Structure 1
């Protein structure tokens, strides 16, 4: 019969707990997302959000989104930014367009920690559509499309949440497939 020593058992327990903690958050952009890291720290690791990270840096929002929160960020993927007309991202990243870029980005942020089940409940409680007020002054209409949450901006652009409930130390990230824009 094999004997286990206390350090081996303790080490195995630590691995089991660490593995369980990692399993709670979905992978995003082939990277582990850690609930004890903030939105910016986790986003930096996602290969699917390099454009968003560059935009957050250009807009000067790193400190804000690293702050206490709580924030719910609907995070457009690189593919979402690629759907914009050619040259749009390059134009937005120019220093002279910082205010516009900031507005676009903050139209993806709600000042709350809203997991998908809470958003789904708000949608159901409001008869199928729930208005989300963003910190950028935009209103997003949240709806259900089957099991997926969709967000419609004030221009009629519809984004689908592709990865939900990525828990952060200062809120939650939901990856989306379309960039949401302020009213034009």
Structure 2
């Protein structure tokens, strides 16, 4: 019966493993930098200091991983482990940013884009209502409001000022880019749309 022999790693095995680590770190760092560069465009709209600092951290870790990886390839250098750590940190940040972006895109598609428009005499009263508490404000002759909602309905009521109650007032509701309601009346008009 043959017994399996377990051999201790040789110096040559250790050298081969340690010489691969910097190369792996360089490639992982490069991949992380590419991922961060691709994610800059969708995140650019946020322009938040927190997001910018996360990108700076990811880029710094990626660049550090490349620099340490290149230095570790020199004979007698022992920076391969740190190069790999920096590369993995950079890649992890890039992957987390990508996941957040994808989740954000999925949740944004469930929102309805609503635009309320109204025309009439200057200083008309506009009462808007949807998933939140109704709000009333004074609108100019050509007024509008835009918002996103998870709800399925919206309402706009326009009332001409007392000195213009005999004038024509009109309103429109645009739901996800499509005009769904267009009403005109004298003095007061209400537009209500329920997609549900």
Structure 1-normalised TM-score? 0.27
Higher relative contact order (CA closer than 8 Å, sequence separation 6+): 1
Greater fraction helix? 2
Greater fraction strand? 2
Which of the two has higher C-alpha Rg? Answer: 2
Structure 2-normalised TM-score? 0.26
